[in-house]
Chains A and B, each alone.
Chain A
Amino acid sequence: MIKNNIKYLVVLALGLIACEPEFDNPIEDAGTYSSGEADFSNYVALGNSLTAGLADGALYITGQENSYPNILSKQFAFAGGGEFTQPLMADNAGGLLLNGSPVLNPDGFNRFPNRRVLVFDADAVPIGPAIYTGAPATTEISTNLEGTFNNMGVPGAKSFHLGAKGYGNITNLATGRANPYYVRFASTPEASIIEDAVGQAPTFFSLWIGNNDILSYATSGGVGVDRTGNPNFQEYGNDDITDPGFFDTTYRGLVGALVQNGAKGVLLNLPDVSSLPFFTTVPTNAVPLDAQTATVLNTRFALYNTQILPRLALSGVISTEEAAQRQINFVEGQNFVTIVDESLTDISTILQSPAFGVDAQTASLLAQLRQATSEDLIPLTSSGNIGVDLSGDGTLITGVSVPLGDADVLTLAEQALVERARLSYNATIEALATANNLAFYDVAADLSQAANGGIPFDSGVITSQFVSGGGFSLDGVHPTPRAHALVVNGILDAIKATYGVNLPSVNLSDYGTITVSNEVN
């Protein structure tokens, strides 16, 4: 009997084993996915804030975890991908400290504040983004993380910064020749990003660099200089447009360094900055006026519109087109803001001449004044500079009686400079991809579609609409996790085409967008 029982137990045990369900074709099995001609065992990502995973105006842990390189590395893991390390921040707040204190701009503002969160009123109506204050920043710039990191994305880096020695040297921070994010993980103070990347002997790389070569010019409202034709980057200011020729040389060098040992990789081009919600959210006709105020204002500009401008055109000081462009007219309802456009002829001196006899203050106001058009762009950060009553009595209102400055508007002419440089950079990127048999992802096309109608996915549409569109984080420039997932799928398609890679895609529905929190001051 006991003997029998043992037999039964054996039978039962066999039954238990047999009952474990198993798929006919488990995806864990070799052969389900493949790396094609690529080798993902050591993937290194190079780039700027987009690659680092910066979002909502700051770099923070969950943003880094949702960076496209990190998501991509998880897909690579299905076909031989190795561990993917990132220079993780110390927290999810995102601010940076230097020797225990925030880094302040000359104007006293924190240069590296915490991330932004979306704030709601008590009725759950969104108020807008604000800096998170629920926890202090704890990431110390001076603490070097040691070791190497697969994600070499450095927020703020321009193309030529990747090869800049000393870009991670803390003593260069004061002079602006170092980057606080790179200081955190540079292998040595004099290392360059590309050296640290190549030093890891990557088998596969991604390179998405050049955005900041035009973006900082654009986000600053075009206060910088277009350096086209000047390859001497030592003369560049932070807000300048990098010379496309210099970009070509630089980018060629980066790709050359990365492929020298036979690594495969993917190159990403640069999206149109003017479609970023940072530029498309604040309308240029942001000033509401009632009929009476519009009439009063029009009366004040009547003489200017009907006498001064025609006379200036007649005398050849300005063209008739410029005279028309400079007409100031207000209506009941929404009005285009008044701006100072540097490209206009400065007429302040001639207005003060006896022929016109305009007083100095008025002449200064009219010097390069015009009303914005729907083709001008106002940076998101300038939204607070419109409609401010400077005098408290309604006579000095920014955007109306006080024009917006150069930094508050990216004019059509400035946009053209940015776009010209971008197209040139992109030509370089695509040509180098072809020349080196690298995969090429036209991310610019996808982001353009997001900005113009949106990209449908499983459970919705991802657009460039600020806050609600799902594509952009609360800084209006950097992608959400969902948009990073979009980039991942784009890269997967590109490397499938080039290297015959077969990997699972990611579901955009599984990636979030913005973070809500009322933990703000």
Chain B
Amino acid sequence: MKKLLLLVLFVSVTMVTYAGGYRVSVQGQRAIAMGHTGVAVVNSAELVFFNPAGLVYLENKLNVSVGASGIFTDVVFQNEQLGISAETDNSVGTPLNVYASYQVTDWMSVGIGVYTPYGSEVTWPTDWAGSQLVNNIDLAAIYVQPVVSFKLSDHFSIGGGPIYVTGSVNFNRNASRTTTDFEGNRSNITIDDSGVSSWGWSIGAMVNLTEDFHLGFSYRSEIILESEDGVATFSNFPNSPAAPPNGDTSFNAELPLPAELTVGLSYEYKKWLFAFDYNRQFWDVYESLDLTFGNGQSSINPRNYKNSSVYRFGLQYQATEKIALRAGYYRDETPVQPGFFAPETPRNDSDGFSGGFSFAITPKLAIDASFFYLRFEEVEESYDFGDGGSFGGTYKSSAFAPGLGLTYKM
């Protein structure tokens, strides 16, 4: 048993799920361990996120899943021609998720979820070579979602619910490659806002071809966060009418949280469970990050993302009555197009490897552990807009996230 566990941990060296752009796929410990599959997996209250239609098929009346992951990300950059290099110093991201479902009647369940599907935390050394694009960014969006799930037959159910989003952003970058105050301190702008809220929705459907073979579908709507009440702080600008005044001003910005479509299946065979999810993320909504400041300044930053796909594969093995082992793999395509590779979201195509296990402490309570490792090829890329022309070089990223959770059912 011990050996098997180590084997899983080592061999399927586990990367997890981070998707392209600022999508962070860590919405459930059991799912993470299986390559973040789940649209057709009837397993736990994580279905609130993955496919609310499936909740009504859960065996227990009350299901609760809580979990958290620690995300360690790192990005290195270098440009051999110019001899410049940098490495991010990101703090550890700790996305949380809480899900609960309750079977009201035989044909209806209700549920609620709190999760964080979008976020980004990148901290480059201040005034590094690409500081005209970003010094640091911390972006977070918390989704709160009540759902309802209806069983139309033993073979078909639907579910869905509204989503309330509250987001926050803190973003600092230098004004240009060269602007400084009189003493040579780089002019920079910080924007900060929190409590930016908006609404969206999700809907799902599940088809049970047999008792062991499920098909799932889910769609989560696009949500645009419009920041209007935040504070932009201009610092170290020269004292001149030709430069914006230092100090606080207001700003307007929009950040899209793109829609995501998922279809998938799961098949259970004896002690084995296989799952496949296909995600389509509609990133083309992210055309440009435009900031309009209260002092009359503005900043237009083309993004021109394209829609992207993720292919996820997951496997579960019920080793003993108490222990389930999981592993997964996924291929995550970047939405970032060549020439638009901004170091604030330095994501290229990646391979995710994940693993994990559940240990049932009691029949009602289980510990879920997961981890994933996201492997990026090093990539020659550039961002060809903004002050001073193109900025680029070689990037290499990695992400690693161990996570722990609890599943309670009654």
* Chain A residues proximal to chain B, CB less than 8 Å: 4, 7-8, 11-12, 15-16, 18-28, 32-33, 61-62, 65, 75, 78, 92, 117-124, 126, 132, 134-135, 458-460, 481, 503-507, 509-513, 515-519
Contact = CB atoms under 8 A, between A and B. Distances in A.
Contacts of B301: none
A458 B184 contact: no
17 contacts: A11-B9, A15-B373, A15-B402, A21-B397, A32-B80, A61-B184, A62-B183, A92-B184, A458-B388, A504-B80, A509-B178, A509-B389, A510-B129, A510-B178, A516-B240, A517-B238, A519-B182
A453 B232 CA distance: 40
Given A7-B2, A23-B78, A132-B182, 20 more contacts: A8-B5, A8-B9, A11-B10, A12-B402, A23-B76, A23-B378, A23-B396, A61-B184, A117-B182, A120-B240, A124-B241, A134-B182, A504-B80, A506-B82, A510-B177, A512-B180, A513-B178, A515-B180, A515-B182, A516-B243
B400 interface: yes
Contacts of B238: 515-517
Given A15-B400, A16-B72, A19-B72, A27 B78 contact: yes
Contacts of A65: 184
Contacts of B14: 15
Nearest to A61: B184
- Is the contact region of chain A dominated by helix, strand, or loop, or is it mixed? loop
B126 to A, nearest CB: 15
Contacts of A25: 80
A519 B13 CA distance: 61
B292 interface: no
Nearest to A92: B183
Interface in B352-378: 371, 373, 376, 378
Given A15-B14, A28-B85, A510 B388 contact: yes
B141 interface: no
Interface of B: 2, 5-6, 9-10, 13-14, 72, 74-76, 78-85, 129, 177-180, 182-184, 238-243, 371, 373, 376, 378, 387-390, 394, 396-400, 402
Contact of A509 (B6, B76, B85, B388): B388
A518 B400 CA distance: 50
Contact of B373 (A19, A134, A515): A19
Contacts of A516: 238, 240, 242-243
A518 B398 CA distance: 47
A486 to B, nearest CB: 14
A279 B371 CA distance: 69
Contact of B74 (A19, A78, A118): A19
Contacts of B13: 15, 18
B349 to A, nearest CB: 15
A121 B240 CA distance: 9
Contacts of A118: 240, 242
Nearest to A77: B83
Given A33-B83, A519-B239, A21 B9 contact: no
